[in-house]
Homo-oligomer: A and B are copies of this chain.
Amino acid sequence: MAQANFNRRAFRDALSTFTTGVTIITTRTEEGEAIGITANSFNSVSLDPPLVLWSLDKSAFSLPAFTNNKHWNVHVLSVEQEALSGRFASRGMDKFKGLELDEGINDIPFLPNCTARFQCRTAYIYEGGDHVIFVGEVLGFDKSDLPPLAFQSGQYALAARKPREGFRLSGDPPPECSYTEDLLGYLIGRAHYQLLGKLNEILQSQQLDQQSFFVLSVLCNRDHLTLDEINGYVEYTGIKANQSLMRFLEKQGYVAAEEKLGQIRFALTAAGREVSLEQIAQTKAVEQSVVDYLGVGDVQALKLLLKGLIRVTDPGLPDLWSTDDKKLESA
């Protein structure tokens, strides 16, 4: 950790390592115009009396509005409000255009669907260098269960909460060995196999296997595929569908084959769609139990990180959800 030069950029970078939430703070001008800005300089100050603070650039266009009007509302943004954060962080446009507002204590703009809101009256305005520090008494507040948006080193973020009881899956410290349970590949693999274990409960009751599951779920998303096209989607799993699997699924009444222009194309039957939807319902039920345990915010963070992992390890798979009709290269 080398002592950094004291320049503006380096100072800003060092400050931005301190994680924050994201708020929108609103007020009205004397003429009644709605004003709102995005700020992450918010923090709590006092419980009794209830006080919060934030600071505003002295050169901000909105400074006169906030110094004239004693009332302002702080909105702690939820993960879903990232676009709103961007809108209120920019200049010039009518930021409130098309927004429905809630009814607050007074006429200050009061945004819905936030993680928490504080309706405030200025208690103190303090000098803070190139900023002004507003300390507000909280007249009213509310809170939802929506996971909050965070901000970290110049990027939006989600907070993945650490379990109170600590990190390890098992109680004992690991012995010296060539890998530990902290290996990413091990964790991904174990998580996946355990989820597959839950899926297998349904598959067994349907007398189907994972191979069939992959084929049915591809056909549930895209109909009328050739065997090669199906394999283009599932081959990365190490599973390859062949003629005999397709014949088995036809015999079970789950898949119908159709010859078109000399190519055999497969589609789900009604019964096939039904078993596929049962399988997907099971994976959704498992996901819900994970959400119940980890919380919505942590599961969103997990998905986000998995998408990053998928992107960095992507061997160039075709997009199962793409809406364009471009045909896959046959494998």
Contacts and interface: CB of A to CB of B under 8 A. Distances in A.
A48 B8 contact: yes
Q: Place the interface of chain A in its size category.
A: 35 or more
User: What is the copy number of this chain in the assembly?
Assistant: 2
Contacts of A151: 19
Nearest to A144: B1
Contacts of A117: 1
Interface of A: 1-4, 6, 8, 10-15, 17-21, 23, 41-53, 55, 76, 82, 112-118, 123-124, 126-131, 133, 135, 138, 140-144, 148, 150-153, 155-164, 167-175, 177-200, 210, 217, 220-221, 236-238, 276-277, 280, 283-284, 286-287, 289-290, 293-294, 298-299, 301-315, 317, 319-324
Contacts of A185: 195, 199, 283, 286-287
A32 B255 CA distance: 81
B313 A194 contact: yes
Contacts of A46: 55, 128-131
Given A43-B43, A150-B152, A238 B196 contact: yes
A133 B135 contact: yes
A161 B156 contact: yes
A1 B304 CA distance: 26
A187 B15 contact: no
Contact of A21 (B19, B133, B164, B309): B19
What are the 6 tightest A-B residue pairs by CB atom distance, in nearest-first order?
A46-B129, A192-B192, A18-B21, A157-B159, A170-B319, A152-B159
